[in-house]
Every structure is written in C-alpha cells, then in structure tokens.
Chains A and B, each alone.
Chain A
Amino acid sequence: MATLNLQHIDKIYDNNVQAVFDFNLDVKDGELIVLVGPSGCGKSTTLRMVAGLEDISNGKLLLDGKDITATPAKDRDMAMVFQSYALYGHMTIYENMAFSLTLRKENPNVIHKKVLAAAEILGLTSQLNKKPAQLSGGQRQRVAMGRSIVRNPKVFLFDEPLSNLDAKLRGATRREILLLHKRLQATMMYVTHDQTEALTLADRIVCMSMGHVQQVGTPLELYDEPANVFVASFIGLPPMNFFDVTVGNGVLNGQGFTVKLTEEEKRTLAAYQGKEIILGVRPESIEEGTEVRVDVQNNENLGMNTLVHGYVANGGPRIVAKLKGWKMLKAGDGITFSFNRKHFFDKETTNAIRGGK
C-alpha cells in the first residue's frame, strides 16, 4: 500500500476559474480519507487530480515519495470507483472484474484467482455469470469495487460511490466499504457530500468549501471541535444552532435569552468581554432546563428522540433541539431549554474561539 502527499495543489481551468486553492494533505499508509463538502466545493476535482483525470495547475502530488504530478492516469497504479459504476453491460460480472487484467495480458489463471478472491470478499461469487443489468444497484457498485480490488492498486479512489443507491442500500454498502477497508488495509480517498458517510467511514475527514480546505481532522475532532462556522454547520444533523450574542459579565446575552458561562468558558472568552460573538449549540446539546424560553413551532418524533423546532421567545432566533424520548408538543407550546456544550466563534473571522468546552 502507499502514502500520498498533496502539496500546494491548485486547479485553475482554462477560463481562469479556480476550483481548488492551495490543497495540502498527507495521507498515511492504509488511511481512509474522506473529502466532504457541498456541491461545487472542489472535492471531486481534487480526487480527479489525484487519479490523473484532471491536470494539476500548480503544486505537487507524491505517491510513496515519488512525484507523479505529470504521470498519466494509467501509470499511477490507482483504482477509481465511480458513482455511475461504469460497468460494461455486454460483459458478465466475471469478465467485468477481469477486464483490466486481461488488457494487461496477465496469465488467465492468475486473473481467475484474483477475480474469485475479490468476488469472495464482496459476496459476488454466485453472481459471476450474470450481466450487470441483472444485479441491483448495490451489487453493481460492489462489482465496480471488485474491479478495483483485482488490480491490487496502491490507492483506491471513490467518487460518491453510494449516491445512486437508495437509503437502505446506501447504509449496507457503506458498511461493506468499511469492512473492505479494514480487510484490505488499503490507502483510500473517498469523496462524498453526505456527512453521515464521512463520519462513519473516515479515519480523517477533509472538509472543503469553495475550493478551500476548511478543516482536516478525525470525525470526532470535526464534530466536537469545528474550526469555523462552516464546518460546525456542515457536520452534524440536524445542523448546529447559531446565535448572535454579546459577552457579558459571566453571561452571554442573546436576542430574547441570557445564558450563564462556566468558569472555563469565562476564561476562553476573556478577550471578548463586551464584544459580539457567535454562539453555536448542537441540537443534541440542548436539554430541558431554565435558561432559554422557546415557543414551539412543531416537533418531529423519531422514536428514541424528538426534534423540537421553535423560536426563542420574544422574537428571538430560530432553534432546533434534539430531546431524548418521545415528547408530545404542539405548535404554540412553551418549553425552556439549557445549553450543555457551547461552541464560540469570532463574528468577524467566523473561526472558532478555542478552549470553549
């Protein structure tokens, strides 16, 4: 397997539109890196540059320390799995999986062993004589993965491989990819706009917006210590609540509410005394309490939890809370919340004010 280093990579198209700005990343051997971000943020472009399907405008790409910036895609020893499977409809599953090795004129018996081994891993042994049209979407995507596995590449690249699948199949295939990664211990780069995929699959996540890397870290770091408002709002479902507040003497004063600060929070915000900041609170960090009075707009019962949508009383901002248990609330009801875990962001830079636990 392999290490991958992306150094100061830019992508500038012929019409001078820049899609990726100064992308830096060191992918460790056997690591599963997930690039996540909204549509158009440059994550797929970055992956395609790694694969060699797009030219790198500036910067260097190193595979195992060797510069492959200008190496053609076919010589990079990377395998890519696409959203659209890209299987040959007239070939059987066996032939699809064997195709790349057949092109390389490998020994047919060696090809056979590799295809059978990959099919075994992916649970496709009984499907090998079928055509892609006879398989479900999830099975087709597994075939696409199998085609990559038989090549035994240094790096696996996945470009939104689950986007064509329905929700149930997506969950199952996601687990299969995770098991596959554990089994192969392969270096993988995975692109998705689905934060659930990112959080469940990744060893590390690269969160991108408008061509810029916003934060690189473990799923827990991105969830628990978001670097800025963008990451905080993108990671987590439902998204984090944001309130404009002023730092007072041991309290935060927002529109229609005041919340007390802990000693640690006071120290974190010492430099912001009297200034406006952004307070971020995840819906799951809200519980019934005594500080913030909310007028309920509606609620969604999810079985284990209830999502309460409402507005802070007296014309305050919108708020979403995820409460434990099944709550019977209706529009117009009043409920009072407290915030457990607070995140603070600088209002001008939108960067996190660190230490605010």
Chain B
Amino acid sequence: MNLNDELAITRDRLRFIKNTQSANLCYLAILLNVFYFVSIYKSDVGTYYYNILIGASIVYNLVFMLAVFLSSEEVKNYNRKYSYLLGVIGLLQIARIFIIPMRAHAAKTVVNGKEVLVMHGGQFTRVCIYLAASAAFLLAAAAINIKKCNELSEHMNSIGAQNV
C-alpha cells in the first residue's frame, strides 16, 4: 500500500474500523419508528382502530426493531447481505404510510354524536415525516454499507488479501 495515497489509506482504514455510520443511521431509524408508533394511536377516536390491523401493526413494530437492530450489528462489520434487508425494510416504511396513516387521515368517525376526522392534518404530517425519515435513514445506511463493502473488497483485492 502506498502510504502517500490518501485514498488508499482511507480505504485501508476500513479493515480496522467498523461501519458505525450505517449502524448509527439504523439506530436513528429505530428511534423514529418509536416516535411514529407512540404518536399514531389516539383514544378519542372511538373504535376506529379496534381491528386486526392494530395487532399486526404491533407485531410488525417489534419485528422491525429486532430486524433493524440485528442488521445494524451486521452492517457494522461490512456484511453486504444485510444492506439489502435494510433496503427492503426502508421501502416497507414508505409503504406503511399508505396502510394506516393515509387511511386514518381520510376516515371519519362518530364520537359523542359528532363526526370527526380520525387523523387530523397535523398528526398525519408528523407520522408521515417519522416514517419517511426512518425509511430514508435505512436506505442511506444500506447504500453507505454497500459502497463501503465495495471499496473494502476492491482494496483487499488490490493488496492481495485472501479474506474480506
């Protein structure tokens, strides 16, 4: 390795430092998902949420957090496969906007004889931002990890190492 080549040194550093950038983005995505989860359900909208979707949503949130946390540990060690998983989860976060928030925003329910919006505009905007930002962080984590994996792989090939 040429010690005067800054790019080569930057790449060589990848052999010894963890991909904390991707991992930290994963933690942020989890945090935003928690914000989403605690701010979506309201008790003053009657029985609107009393259906199978709420159960599925709770289970999905648990699976989401577990999967993203495990992926964060794997991408820390430059495991390329988990980048794809993060990418899929990120796209699902965007899809989730259309499952509960969008429907709730369009729905009305009767409470105490008055018709009210299940999800008013402010709350809708907030939860959409949480999900969209969470998705963006996951996709960024995945992209960064793939880029670093490629760089590391190229560098290892250039120095003739057997294992990445």
**Using a CB–CB distance below 8 Å, which chain A residues touch chain B?**
92, 94-95, 108-109, 112-113, 115-116, 128-129
Contacts and interface: CB of A to CB of B under 8 A. Distances in A.
Interface of B: 3, 6, 9-10, 12-13, 15-17
Nearest to A108: B13
A110 to B, nearest CB: 9
B16 A113 contact: no
Contacts of B6: 109
A232 to B, nearest CB: 51
Smallest CB-CB A-B distances: 3 pairs? A94-B16, A109-B9, A112-B13
Contacts of B13: 108-109, 112
Contacts of A94: 16-17
B88 to A, nearest CB: 30
B160 to A, nearest CB: 15
Chain B at the A interface: SS class: helix
Contacts of A116: 12
Contacts, number: 23
B113 to A, nearest CB: 60
Contacts of A92: 16
A129 B9 contact: no
A115 B13 CA distance: 10
A188 to B, nearest CB: 27
A254 to B, nearest CB: 66
Contact of A128 (B3, B9, B16): B16
Contacts of B16: 92, 94-95, 112, 115, 128-129
Nearest to B16: A94
Contacts of A109: 6, 9-10, 13
Contacts of A129: 15-16
Nearest to B10: A109
Contacts of B15: 128-129
A310 B12 CA distance: 65
Nearest to A117: B3
A125 to B, nearest CB: 10
Given A94-B17, A129-B15, 6 more contacts: A94-B16, A109-B6, A109-B13, A112-B9, A112-B13, A112-B16
A82 to B, nearest CB: 24
Nearest to A97: B16
A95 B13 CA distance: 11
A261 B132 CA distance: 99
